[in-house]
Amino acid sequence: MSWRVTAPGRVNLIGEHTDYNGLPVLPIAIDRDIRVDFQIVDDPVVRLDNPSARFAPFAFQLKRPIEAADQGDWSNYVRAAARGLLEHGVPLERGIEGTVTGSVPIASGLSSSSALVVASALALLKANGVTLPRLQLAALMARAERFVGLEGGGMDQAACLHGVERHALRIEFDPLRVTPVRVPEGWRWVVASSLVRAEKSAGARDAYNERARQCRDALEEVRDAVGVERTPSQESSYRGLVSAGDLDGLLRVARRILAPVLFLRFRHVVTEGSRVALAEQAMRDGDLHRFGDLMVRSHESLRDDYEVSTGELDAIVEVALEAGAAGARLTGAGFGGCAVALCDDSTVARVMAALAARFYEPRLGRPPTGDMMFAPKASVRARVERLGD
Ligand code: GLA
């Protein structure tokens, strides 16, 4: 009997670099996914291949300890899932054998890696007749994916496991919660690749982890200065600071006590956290322009305070806005990858044409492929289906 797991990528609409600081995010799961077609085998082994020559076939035993393959090896995402399940005490007595394909552009900030982690976990759970609540699985896989060395938050795995057609997802942390928010009729998104790869397992990883560390350091100092009680989960304290309300007062304290670079990181995190709530309200109100303005402010903050944008991402944002997008910003971790623009039915074609003419053609000498620029739809969550005998 064969099975297929389909696990979507995601585009984060707003709330960047907030998840690992315990503040909410607002992504959509998209109609591009990672698929694993597999058969269940009686031995505790994983054997997967991929039609693309870039991804060599691999096999490993489902026995602890599961060792990492070389850095950058795609099997590490599958190993991470297996390791996470085993460490959680899920007995993996049967394995899987199959083929991985995908339509999520990789190293693009669209979470192809988390989609692979989630797909692998769902396949292994199916093979062993185990089910876990989706929220629990999302939190477990977020921790498990840190095996590849990125101190990521929990947005990607939660979006992949909770996608709802035509809805964005407000995801909150500590504890993980997901609330679908209906995307108003006529809102359209354009995703545009900066043509610079952002590898979670390579260069971008160190810069990302450095940001995470800076946020922890900044939080520690500010918390001591404003006398907020220590909570068991350090990350949740950003939420405590932001929900206390007086953002300007908080930033005044932070500016006074923090080293300049820590202040910039801190300012991004707390202002971005408050933009997510405002953006959700704008979406509920159907106010395209208010949502778009918040995206622009998010991008500026990521560029100037968090310093994770690139010249290419800035150029995409600029071209999209000039062509009539309501808003645009980098999406995902940054350091390359993609930008997302908010359009409506009447502007989407114009924005795509402008990006093709002004961003891609000068760089490539030809129009972009459908993997470089596309208009994703908010789509459904990861699922397992039977393919037949
Ligand atoms: C990566 C991580 C996420 C999140 C984003 C930035 O995609 O995997 O957890 O931190 O970067 O918002």
140: domain CATH number is 3.30.230.10
With bands split at pLDDT 50, 70 and 90, how would you rate the model's confidence at 162? very high
270 located within any domain = no
Q: What is the pLDDT of residue 49?
A: 98
Residue 27 beta carbon below 6 angstroms from any ligand 1 atom: no
Span 291-314, pLDDT tens digits? 999 999 999 999 999 999 999 999
155 located within any domain = yes
Number of compact structural domains in the chain:
1
Query: From the centroid of its chain, how far is CA 386?
Result: 28
Q: How far is CA 136 from CA 89, 108, 275, in A?
A: 13, 26, 27
120 located within any domain = yes
Span 66-117, pLDDT tens digits? 999 998 899 999 999 999 999 999 999 999 999 999 999 998 999 999 999 9
74 located within any domain = yes
Best mutation site among 155, 210, 235, 305 for ligand 1 pocket (most ligand atoms within 8 Å of CB): 155
360 located within any domain = no
Q: Which residue has the higher pLDDT, 205 or 296?
A: 296
Give the span between the Cα atoms of 330 and 16, in whole angstroms. 9
CB atoms within 10 A of CB 233: 12
Give the span between the Cα atoms of 350 and 332, in whole angstroms. 24
129 located within any domain = yes
Query: Among 30-44, 143-157, 226-240, 294-308, where is mean pLDDT lowest?
Result: 226-240
Looking at the chain, the whole-number percentage of residues with pLDDT higher than 90 is: 89
Mean pLDDT of 146-171: 96
CB atoms within 10 A of CB 57: 11
Q: Could you identify the residue written with the tokens 């190993």?
A: 79
* Tokens found for residue 248: 């300007």
Residue 9 beta carbon below 6 angstroms from any ligand 1 atom: no
253 located within any domain = no
In contact, 77 and 107? CB cutoff 8 Å: no
Mean pLDDT of 232-247: 73
3-state helix, strand and coil shares in percent for the chain, rounded to the nearest 5:
45, 20, 35
> Distance, CA 389 to ligand 1 centroid (Å)?
38
Give the span between the Cα atoms of 155 and 12, in whole angstroms. 9
> Which domain covers residue 29, as residue numbers?
2-183+379-387
Residue 263 beta carbon below 6 angstroms from any ligand 1 atom: no
Q: What is the pLDDT of residue 228?
A: 64
Asked whether the predicted pLDDT for residue 234 surpasses 50, the reply is no
Q: Collapsing DSSP states into helix, strand and coil, what is residue 309? A: coil
> Distance, CA 151 to ligand 1 centroid (Å)?
9
In contact, 62 and 82? CB cutoff 8 Å: yes
Please give the DSSP secondary-structure letter assigned to residue 20.
G
Residue 17 beta carbon below 6 angstroms from any ligand 1 atom: yes
Q: What is the DSSP secondary-structure string of 59-112?
A: EEES-SS----STT-THHHHHHHHHHHHHTT----SEEEEEEEE-SPTTSSS-H
* Paired residues of 10 in beta bridges: 29
> Distance, CA 337 to ligand 1 centroid (Å)?
12
Mean pLDDT of 120-149: 97
Q: What is the pLDDT of residue 149?
A: 87
Residue 140 beta carbon below 6 angstroms from any ligand 1 atom: no
Residues with active-site annotation: 156
In contact, 275 and 248? CB cutoff 8 Å: no
In contact, 16 and 279? CB cutoff 8 Å: no
Q: What is the pLDDT of residue 204?
A: 87
With bands split at pLDDT 50, 70 and 90, how would you rate the model's confidence at 236? very low
Tell the residue nearest (CA) to atom 11 of ligand 1: 333
Mean pLDDT of 332-351: 97
Atom index in ligand 1 nearest the CA of residue 208 equals 11
With bands split at pLDDT 50, 70 and 90, how would you rate the model's confidence at 229? low
Q: What is the pLDDT of residue 230?
A: 54
188 located within any domain = no
Looking at the chain, the whole-number percentage of residues with pLDDT higher than 70 is: 97
In contact, 164 and 381? CB cutoff 8 Å: yes
The residue among 146, 187, 387, 389 whose CA lies nearest residue 284 is: 187
> Distance, CA 47 to ligand 1 centroid (Å)?
28
Q: What is the pLDDT of residue 244?
A: 79
Residue 368 beta carbon below 6 angstroms from any ligand 1 atom: no
Residue 215 beta carbon below 6 angstroms from any ligand 1 atom: no
Sign of the CA dihedral running 194, 199, 200, 203: negative
Please give the DSSP secondary-structure letter assigned to residue 147.
G
Q: Which residue has the higher pLDDT, 243 or 272?
A: 272
